[in-house]
Amino acid sequence: MNGQIVYLLYFAPLLLVFALVVRRRDRREREMLAALNEAREAGLTQPPSLHPVVDPLRCIGCSSCIHACPEFPAHQILGLIDRKATLISPTDCIGHGACEKACPVGAIKLVFGTAERGVDIPRVNADYSTNVPGVFIAGELGGMGLIRNAVSQGRQAIDGVRAWLKTASRAPAEVDVFIVGAGPAGLAATLGATAAKLRYRTIEQNSLGGTVANFPRGKLVMTEPAELPVVGAFRFSEVRKETLIAFWEDVRSRTGIEIHTGERFLGVTADADGILNVSTTRGNFRSRALILAIGRRGTPRRLDVPGEELDKVSYTLIDPAEHAGRRVLVIGAGDSALEAACACAEAGAATVTLVVRGDNLARARRRNQEHVGRLVDERRLSVLYNAHITAIGKDKVAITIGGARSALDNDVVIICVGGILPTPLLESIGVDVQTKYGTA
């Protein structure tokens, strides 16, 4: 009897701890399963580009990959289901690749695309040239994401351009290299062109910083040190988006590099004398080489209505607090539109109206639909279905709702209707593009 009591005294706490651990693990797994089902219901199953694939036969369920992901815990991209690592939130994956490195048994490999949806990746040679003479590709457009990779590719693409210039046409040209995009790749290429004393023209449809400039206010950017031409190493590892953009702005003013913002690249052809003829929204320019550093996010889709060029119109929400006290109109029915509308309503906008072309919000995640529902009930947000904006004025917007014309008082318009991916642009230039269905 005494022996049994001793056993109980020793083992009961152990059993209790074990039971608590198992219960916590099962609860966590149920949450992961719910998150996965929610992503599936909303059709958010396809990662944008490079992402992990887990071999369930090798996975030992140690969770190292989950905690190694730099996006964790802000985004739960990998989670354990049935004790195996699973891609829970594929659309949030930005291809850091830290999970692959962290896996102790080599169960993860990084691939582009999935069996259901291919990802178009241009064929790029080791010197960043393409099959089109004089056309180079640097940064995420070539398939490899991350700021550090973009910086180093932008720098190296200039080496490729310099080698090309030795054999390129000697006919007159306005610049040696035309650089499109001022994200980290385009910035590094521009600095590289300066260091190499090349004549260059850099254009950017938005503003300096590329995708980083569109991150939400205060986003923590995880990066690794990288070498920028002219200015040397930048040593950030964890940095707020604003600090990184301020650093790049400082580099721009210290070095005097010129970046033509608000200018969009439209296409390129080769003139009869072998010089490239680059077409942009500001004219045509003859250049010996072209670097496309346009990333993979594409160009935001426009409504193409009068007034869309007004300053009050934007295509991403960066800081909802900026719109406090204003009358905001958000256009779109996807997650980014719903998230933008909710964020503005909660940041104290005077009114927020979500304008939806169809008659439901089924395309968005359930939690975003529910969030909108709550704010509608609290009268902090209204949704107009079957609605189309027909013109944007300084303080009014013309709209048709179910075919009937109307006008809304308005200070801010945020258009979240998706983007035009770069593949058609690449194909129109003649760049070879391959579609990857789950391969490296």
Q: Contact, 207 vs 192, CB < 8 A?
A: no
Q: Does residue number 223 form part of the binding site for ligand FAD (CB under 6 A)? A: yes
Spatial distance between the Cα atoms of 83 and 100, rounded to a whole number of angstroms: 17
Spatial distance between the Cα atoms of 232 and 195, rounded to a whole number of angstroms: 11
Residue 103 contact, options ligand FAD, ligand SF4, none, Cβ 5-8 Å cut-off depending on partner type: ligand SF4
Least distance (Å) between residue 440 CB and ligand FAD: 18
Beta carbon nearer to ligand SF4, 59 or 355: 59
Q: Contact, 302 vs 308, CB < 8 A?
A: yes
Beta carbon nearer to ligand FAD, 139 or 192: 139
Site for ligand FAD in 294-313 (CB under 6 A): 294-295, 297, 299
Q: Does residue number 99 form part of the binding site for ligand FAD (CB under 6 A)? A: no
Tokens at 281, concatenated? 């929204």
Contact pick of 130, 190, 202, 206 for ligand FAD (by CB under 6 A): 206
Q: Does residue number 290 form part of the binding site for ligand SF4 (CB under 6 A)? A: no
Spatial distance between the Cα atoms of 368 and 353, rounded to a whole number of angstroms: 15
Q: Does residue number 212 form part of the binding site for ligand FAD (CB under 6 A)? A: yes
Least distance (Å) between residue 62 CB and ligand SF4: 4
Q: Does residue number 339 form part of the binding site for ligand FAD (CB under 6 A)? A: no
The helix (H) or strand (E) run that includes residue 420 is: strand 419-420
Contact pick of 39, 193, 203, 361 for ligand FAD (by CB under 6 A): 203
Tokens at 253, concatenated? 């003013």
| Cβ neighbourhood burial of 78 (10 Å; 0-12, 13-18, 19+) | buried
Least distance (Å) between residue 250 CB and ligand SF4: 39
Residue 300 has a CB neighbour count (10 Å cut-off) of 17
Tokens at 19, concatenated? 């039971």
Q: Does residue number 93 form part of the binding site for ligand FAD (CB under 6 A)? A: no
Alpha-helix runs per DSSP H in 303-365: 335-346
Pairing verdict, β 327-331 and 351-355 = parallel
Spatial distance between the Cα atoms of 311 and 301, rounded to a whole number of angstroms: 17
Q: Does residue number 146 form part of the binding site for ligand FAD (CB under 6 A)? A: yes
The sign one gets for the Cα dihedral 185, 190, 193, 195 is negative
Dihedral, CA atoms, 27, 32, 35, 41, nearest 10 degrees?
Answer: -110
Rg (CA), the chain: 25
Spatial distance between the Cα atoms of 7 and 338, rounded to a whole number of angstroms: 58
Q: Does residue number 140 form part of the binding site for ligand FAD (CB under 6 A)? A: yes
Dihedral, CA atoms, 309, 313, 315, 319, nearest 10 degrees?
Answer: 140
Residue 60 contact, options ligand FAD, ligand SF4, none, Cβ 5-8 Å cut-off depending on partner type: ligand SF4
Mark residues 55-94: x for contact with ligand SF4 by CB under 6 A, - for none.
----xxxxxxx-------------------x---------
Question: If binding means CB under 6 A, how many residues of this protein chain bind ligand FAD?
Answer: 31
Least distance (Å) between residue 203 CB and ligand SF4: 42
Residue 102 contact, options ligand SF4, ligand FAD, none, Cβ 5-8 Å cut-off depending on partner type: ligand SF4
Residue 64 contact, options ligand SF4, ligand FAD, none, Cβ 5-8 Å cut-off depending on partner type: ligand SF4
Residues lying near ligand SF4 in the complex (CB under 6 A) are found at 54, 59-65, 85, 102-103, 105, 107-108
Residues lying near ligand FAD in the complex (CB under 6 A) are found at 94, 139-140, 145-147, 150, 180-186, 203-206, 210-212, 221-223, 264-265, 293-295, 297, 299
